[in-house]
Chains A and B, each alone.
Chain A
Amino acid sequence: MPSDIRVSAEPIDAAALMAALTGQSPDDGAVSSFVGQVRAEGDLVALELEHYPGVTEAALRELSEQAMARWSLSQALIHHRVGRMAVGETIVVVAASAPHRRAALEAVSFLIDRLKTEAPFWKRVHTAQGHYWVEARDSDTAASQYWRDQIAQEDA
């Protein structure tokens, strides 16, 4: 399966995903990955991820297809968890398999940077006192814009 997209409330086993992805393609010399996990921050008790069923998966699939085409990947994987999770639990795994390392590394960077601003997910922090919504970071917007500009330049 070249594009493996999954959004689910089930816990993500990052090690199992990587085991399934590595050693699979004799043409690929590189498998790269990013694992995002819940960070202990302030008075956080749990992190909750909300999404927009259907639209979120479509957005991830579009990003995956862009990465597949741009870096000639043989496989791209995005598994994102939703619902409530505790410190240390995996939020997202992004991985790419390609003939050479530069393609695999850049594709993973592209996918996680673009995912943060282009796929409808929202983070909410639960504390002992209540909850608050996480605001978008300027640095995330800038990272996503970088790739947008790169692609615009190449397409020009």
Chain B
Amino acid sequence: MIDAFYIFTKGGLLLWSTQLVKVKGNPLDRLIKEVLLEERVGETFATLDVYNLKWKLLNDMDLFFVVVYQGILQMAYLEGLLSMAAKEFSHHIATSFGGGLNIKHVDFEKDFLRCRQKADKELKESRKPGGMRSFEDTKKGADVQKNREEKGLPAPAKKGKSGGTDGDKEEDDEEEDAAVAEARAKLAGGKSKAKKDAEAPKPKKGKEARHWDGGKVSKSLMEELDFSKNKPDEADLAAKQAEFLGSGDEEDFEAEVESLSSGSDAEEEKKDDGRVGGLFKSLTKGVKNITGGAVLTEGDLEPILKKFKTELMTRNVAAEVADKLSDSVRKSLVGKTTGRFTSMASTVKQALKESMETLLTPKKSIDVLRAALAAKNAGRVYTIVFLGVNGVGKSTNLAKVAYYLKHKGGLDVLICACDTFRAGAVEQLKTHSRCLDVPLFERGYGKDPADIAKNAIAHAKSNGHDVVLVDTAGRMQDNEPLMRALAKLVAINSPDLVLFVGEALVGNDAIDQVSKFNRSLVDLSADPRNPRGIDGMLLTKYDTVDDKVGAALSMVYVTGQPVVFVGTGQKYTHLRKMQAKEVVKTLLG
């Protein structure tokens, strides 16, 4: 069943954990760093390596509940277990929970065991309505229970843990037995059913009843062939009707239609009903919206988030990303209390702002010059590969980066022309190389770009160049053979930096482009255990988009990689680093 269960606070305290099976690696740490910190809280489910993780967030206490398992488990079961554990836990600590800092370790073994048993039971019941004996009802179960009580039950800390696992083992055995029994029962059930089917009298058709045309038609035969009158008896019909018409009556159907058509009205009414004492409640809510101290609910957040979502979308954030981001924010806000004198809208805005800033802040160093200098000191050649779809400005921005490395870092740069496809590509780079006074490595058209790049790096090494910038041919993300060639180039040369060049102008297509490029690189990479994807992005034509800077957010969200540079004009000096705060400010208007 499940492998491990963790309860921790946002502040970083592991309040309680149990490993029913030894967990390899540290899926929890990866979850926090790769999912929760990437503003993907909205999903509540992730797969990391062999483990599946599902989690629940209790906002009023800033608690996370995480269950780790392998293989496939019913979502309903996991959700049940999580919410049960959450309920038990908050009950458990309700009295002593002071802002989340007073509790450091909680003895939760006992309650968790109960939760698990309950969830297991529910699962079994849902699987087999016939009703298995529950664990406690079995003889062995009773024994185990008794045994456990005699042992005085798993106590805190290590000792308790070992005791717990013992108990669990027993329970696992029991579970296994139960599962086997269940399977047997199922099998047996299946068999008997099959038998029944076989035994059931079949309507006689076929050979015996064959009557050739042209023969005389007897009355009995006519009756037999007359299907119009025939028989599905009333009960059957009613059953069928019940099955296909839902609860049957046409009146109901009409009512349903009506309620559908006036769905929104009905909902509103319902909401009003929900607020007992209508006016007063809404009044206090209104006041609290101004003075703060209101508890946020899904209903409150929905319209506000919707507004922000459309705003983001008009600023070129891809719809999917806007959706997920607002989901994440909603999940992290439901149940929270607004601060003093802050309205709900401003609370939401603040949360959104913070999560976007976190997202856009690079999680690794994006100082290319420093990395190149370090490589130079180590006596290596630093290689950057530029890739992207057609016409986004790969060559132009490659030239800008060349200028930056050469003039600001004093590095010896070599440009490598691996666009052996588009007419004039090499000439374009030649022009840049003349203007920048940077040597160009080219082998004309029609050659294998991976080979050229390899030769260029070898050339750089023997001639004392520090940096090689590899320009590749633009390609559409769906063109498989070309993507394969690109993956080969990356795999053979293993560059220090793979830069995806993308336009700031794109909207929804941004996700598709960047994720497909990334996936092709990962899928076709040389070493499948340690796949190589995109390391960073270069956003071009940034000066043309005004406030529609959403592409930056979309691309960063999809890949999790930072925007290393932004191109802001036609000149070689028009290269900048992205300011997360500015972007967020622009996006939120």
Partners in one complex: no
